[in-house]
């Protein structure tokens, strides 16, 4: 009888230990998963912040074209390209896609602003000056938003590559995210092309 009691006690102790181990593993998995969800949501939030600024820039471009049209006639190719890029920014499926189209659109906006140097009357136009200020402010916000996005992506990527999260990241569908690299247009100075604008 005593033997059965000892055996029952041993089984209860082993069961208790196994239960504690399973509970500990379950808690660790839940904490890992929740931590990765928080980081992924931060990345998505930062991506959304970039998109807000890119859309703001895209909304300023038509006003810039209208304001400068009175001083310079645009080649149809330039107008078509600006329209296509603006459409890509507004309909992008991901922050990276939106960012790439937005950077190309920003480059075109810089070229349009550069004509202000050729037309003193345009430089004095209050609408042009306001648009110039708003676009400069938006560019600063885009640069900062990209920096925050890349910092957040780096934290997320580091987290999913480190143990113990790395053991569960693939199982739960957490994948490495790409950084937003500087576009080629940012690495070169804005150059005026004589064919882009014609004197009225």
Domain extents in the chain: 2-199
Position 74 scores a pLDDT of 66
Which CB contacts under 8 angstroms, 24+ apart, belong to 57-60? 57/89, 57/102, 57/105, 57/106, 57/109, 57/135, 57/138, 57/139, 57/142, 58/86, 58/89, 58/90, 58/102, 58/105, 60/109, 60/131, 60/134, 60/135, 60/138
Position 182 scores a pLDDT of 67
Position 184 scores a pLDDT of 55
Position 183 scores a pLDDT of 59
Position 171 scores a pLDDT of 87
Question: Which helix (H) or strand (E) is 197 found in, with range?
Answer: strand 197-199
> Of the CATH numbers 1.10.10.10, 1.20.120.1200, 1.20.1440.20, 3.20.20.150, which one belongs to the domain with range 2-199?
1.20.1440.20
Position 196 scores a pLDDT of 38
Q: What is the pTM of this model?
A: 0.75
Position 146 scores a pLDDT of 92
User: Which regions in the chain score pLDDT beneath 50?
Assistant: 187-200
Position 61 scores a pLDDT of 86
Position 3 scores a pLDDT of 72
Position 193 scores a pLDDT of 42
Which of 80, 150, 78 is closest to 110 using CA atoms? 78
Residue 40 — φ and ψ, nearest 5°? Answer: -65, -40
């Amino acid at each position: 009888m005593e033997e059965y009691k000892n055996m029952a006690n041993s089984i209860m102790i082993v069961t208790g230990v196994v239960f504690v181990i399973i509970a500990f593993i379950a808690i660790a998995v839940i904490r890992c998963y929740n931590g990765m969800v928080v980081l992924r949501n931060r990345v998505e939030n930062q991506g959304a912040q970039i998109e807000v600024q890119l859309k703001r820039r895209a909304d300023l471009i038509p006003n810039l074209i209208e304001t400068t049209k009175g001083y310079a006639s645009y080649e149809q190719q330039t107008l078509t390209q600006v329209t296509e890029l603006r459409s890509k920014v507004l309909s992008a499926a991901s922050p990276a896609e939106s960012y790439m189209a937005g950077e190309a659109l920003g480059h075109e906006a810089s070229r349009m602003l550069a004509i202000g140097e050729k037309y003193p009357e345009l430089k004095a136009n209050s609408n042009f000056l306001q648009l110039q200020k708003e676009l400069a402010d938006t560019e600063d916000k885009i640069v900062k938003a990209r920096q925050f996005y890349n910092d957040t992506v780096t934290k997320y990527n580091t987290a999913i590559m480190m143990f113990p999260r790395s053991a569960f990241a693939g199982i739960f569908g957490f994948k490495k995210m790409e950084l937003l690299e500087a576009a080629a247009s940012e690495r070169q100075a804005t150059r005026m092309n004589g064919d882009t604008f014609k004197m009225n």
